[in-house]
């Protein structure tokens, strides 16, 4: 279970050897640093806790496209898009211009321009799309707010936030220490994610080899 904002704030102030009564550690200022650091950390890689799956309802003959910011909370980018049992093929916007002139009942291609999704052929009937996407962290707005970041990685977030806090404190020794520890912790986190990531398996059809 993720740690609360209050817990993360306490850890951060402790690492900076600060005090809750010191104006420089005023909670709202520290919280802004934590939120910025949390979002920055989230964009280092496609962390497992920032993955989302769901569906998008597509209106028939929708030439204006769909806003992914509206369809997917905290949308960052699409990893996978499918219609029924078929994966749609991504095309860059330049190549998509020609494809987008056709219409049909089933889409085959898609592109994303800004955060707007377009399909080709443009479906002439309503369809439901399945997606797998990477999202951003929420803003932590109160003491009981929790990030998507698991508690096992709270120290990594604290080390990320400790760097701008050290700049605020004008403490070069603290800044150097935070940078060094962060690099080590980040590499350990990436290694752990690589080790525990579920890789796709390849299955072979053994039917032709079976005896009759």
Q: 207 lies in a domain?
A: no
Same domain membership, residue 176 and residue 108? no
| pLDDT band, very low/low/confident/very high, at 133 (cuts 50, 70, 90) | very high
* Confidence at residue 93, expressed as pLDDT on a 0 to 100 scale: 85
Tokens of 143: 């003491």
Q: By percentage, how much of the chain surpasses pLDDT 70?
A: 90
Q: 211 lies in a domain?
A: no
Residue 198 predicted with pLDDT over 60 = no
Q: 209 lies in a domain?
A: no
* Confidence at residue 1, expressed as pLDDT on a 0 to 100 scale: 85
Same domain membership, residue 19 and residue 60? no
Full residue range of the structural domain in which residue 35 is found: 5-43+139-195
Q: 202 lies in a domain?
A: no
Q: 210 lies in a domain?
A: no
Tell me the average pLDDT across 47-67: 93
Residue 63 predicted with pLDDT over 70 = yes
Same domain membership, residue 149 and residue 115? no
Number of domains in the chain: 2
Q: 191 lies in a domain?
A: yes
| pLDDT band, very low/low/confident/very high, at 204 (cuts 50, 70, 90) | very low
Residue 143 predicted with pLDDT over 60 = yes
Q: 208 lies in a domain?
A: no
Rounded-to-integer distance, Cα 5 and Cα 144, Å: 6
Same domain membership, residue 71 and residue 113? yes
- H or E segment and range at residue 79: strand 75-83
* Confidence at residue 34, expressed as pLDDT on a 0 to 100 scale: 98
Same domain membership, residue 63 and residue 127? yes
* Confidence at residue 90, expressed as pLDDT on a 0 to 100 scale: 93
Name, in order, each residue with C-beta under 8 angstroms of 86's C-beta and a sequence gap of 6 or more: 106, 108
| pLDDT band, very low/low/confident/very high, at 205 (cuts 50, 70, 90) | very low
Q: Considering the chain, what is the average pLDDT of its residues?
A: 89
Same domain membership, residue 151 and residue 125? no
Smallest Cα–Cα separation from 148: which of 19, 3, 40? Answer: 3
Tell me the average pLDDT across 37-56: 95
Q: Convert the pLDDT of each residue in 164-182 to its tens digit.
A: 999 999 999 999 999 999 9
Tokens of 206: 């053994």
Same domain membership, residue 57 and residue 131? yes
| pLDDT band, very low/low/confident/very high, at 62 (cuts 50, 70, 90) | confident
Q: 60 lies in a domain?
A: yes
Q: How many CB atoms lie within 10 A of CB 133?
A: 23
Same domain membership, residue 146 and residue 127? no
pTM of the entire predicted model: 0.82
Which whole-number Å values give the CA distances from 155 to 22, 41, 159, 190, 201, in the listed order? 23, 12, 6, 14, 33
- Gyration radius (Cα) of the chain, Å: 23
Same domain membership, residue 74 and residue 178? no
Q: Convert the pLDDT of each residue in 7-33 to its tens digit.
A: 999 999 999 998 767 888 999 999 999
Smallest Cα–Cα separation from 145: which of 47, 35, 37? Answer: 35
Tell me the average pLDDT across 53-82: 94
């Amino acid at each position: 279970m993720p740690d609360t904002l209050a817990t993360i704030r306490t850890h951060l102030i402790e690492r900076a050897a600060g005090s809750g009564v010191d104006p420089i550690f005023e909670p709202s200022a520290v919280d802004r640093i934590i939120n910025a650091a949390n979002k920055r950390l989230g964009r280092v890689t496609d962390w497992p806790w920032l993955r989302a799956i769901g569906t998008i309802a597509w209106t028939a003959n929708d030439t204006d496209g769909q806003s992914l910011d509206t369809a997917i909370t905290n949308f960052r980018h699409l990893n996978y898009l499918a219609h029924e049992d078929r994966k749609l093929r991504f095309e860059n916007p330049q190549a998509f211009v020609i494809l987008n002139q056709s219409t049909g009942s089933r889409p085959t291609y898609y592109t994303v321009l800004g955060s707007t999704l377009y399909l080709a052929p443009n479906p002439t009937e309503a369809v439901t799309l399945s997606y797998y996407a990477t999202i951003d962290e929420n803003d932590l707005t109160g003491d009981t707010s929790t990030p998507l970041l698991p508690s096992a990685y709270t120290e990594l977030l604290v080390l990320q936030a400790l760097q701008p806090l050290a700049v605020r404190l004008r403490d070069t020794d603290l800044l150097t220490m935070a940078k060094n520890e962060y690099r080590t912790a980040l590499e350990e986190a990436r290694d752990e994610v690589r080790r525990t990531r579920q890789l796709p398996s390849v299955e072979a059809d053994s039917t032709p080899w079976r005896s009759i």
